[in-house]
Amino acid sequence: MVFCCASVGGASSENAFHAGPASGYAHQSADHITIGAKPYDNEELTAEAFGKKTDLLKYGVLPVLVVIENKREQALDLRDLEVNLVGADGRHVGVVAPEDLPYLGRHPKRPTVGPRTPIPLPGKKNPLAAPEIVERAFAAKMLPPGDSASGFFYFEARLEAGDKIYLNGLRDARSGNEILYFEFPFGQP
């Protein structure tokens, strides 16, 4: 069973993106769970993950890779997982769904004045509608014991010094009990 959408079955090897272990990024461990996160805050990193044509940063979107490793004997329920970017001043920025990214910063369509062309002209492609954005988004809902899941969360923000990642809503799949939240700064692992 695949719980990670970091790469899709039909994707070619040149387009495949693979996350490293959680401990390879800024991370925190508790109760046999390790969560690592890395902001993709420069053009080189975003090109590595999404291709050169999909420059999310240009549109004010910060992709953050999150890797969750479950070394417990019980499965984790991730259906209520909440992820926030927390600024040094305490501001919280919530996740933008990957399906909503193409609509960020869009102005309402103005009415057309003058004659219409009978054949619609091709428009410029929206780079925020690239399939890699949805394919690489974090999508795991359950995480079996001894397994890991990874994917990107997207924030309408720029990374600033002192920013942290805050995750809560992880639950023990059997009991339904919530597991301690995770909060740690971005930085060197």
Whether 169 is covered by a domain: the verdict is: yes
Whether 72 is covered by a domain: the verdict is: yes
CA distance 87 to 161: 8
Confidence of residue 55 (pLDDT cuts 50, 70, 90): confident
Confidence of residue 52 (pLDDT cuts 50, 70, 90): confident
User: What is the domain range of residue 98?
Assistant: 22-104+123-185
- Domain count of the fold of the chain: 1
177 close to 28: Cβ distance less than 8 angstroms:
no
Q: What is the chain's percent helix, strand, coil content, to nearest 5?
A: 15, 30, 55
Least confident of 8-22, 59-73, 130-144, 171-185: 8-22
CA distance 90 to 163: 9
Whether 13 is covered by a domain: the verdict is: no
Which pTM value belongs to this model? 0.82
Sheet holding 148-156, edge to edge: 26-30, 33-39, 61-70, 148-156, 92-96, 82-86, 164-168, 182-185
- Comparing 105 with 167, the larger pLDDT belongs to 167
98: left (phi over 0), alpha (psi -120 to 50) or beta: alpha
Question: What pLDDT does residue 183 have?
Answer: 94
Name the range with the highest mean pLDDT among 14-18, 61-65, 101-105.
61-65
Whether 54 is covered by a domain: the verdict is: yes
Closest CA to 98 of 165, 185, 12, 5: 5
Question: What pLDDT does residue 126 have?
Answer: 77
Question: What pLDDT does residue 9 have?
Answer: 40
Question: What pLDDT does residue 112 have?
Answer: 52
Whether 142 is covered by a domain: the verdict is: yes
Whether 116 is covered by a domain: the verdict is: no
Whether 111 is covered by a domain: the verdict is: no
Q: Three-state SS for 134?
A: helix
DSSP-derived secondary structure letter, 178: B
Helices (H), the chain: 43-50, 131-135
Res. 6: pLDDT tops 60: no
Whether 3 is covered by a domain: the verdict is: no
Give the list of residues 6+ apart from residue 27 with CB closer than 8 angstroms, or none: 34, 35, 36, 37, 184, 189
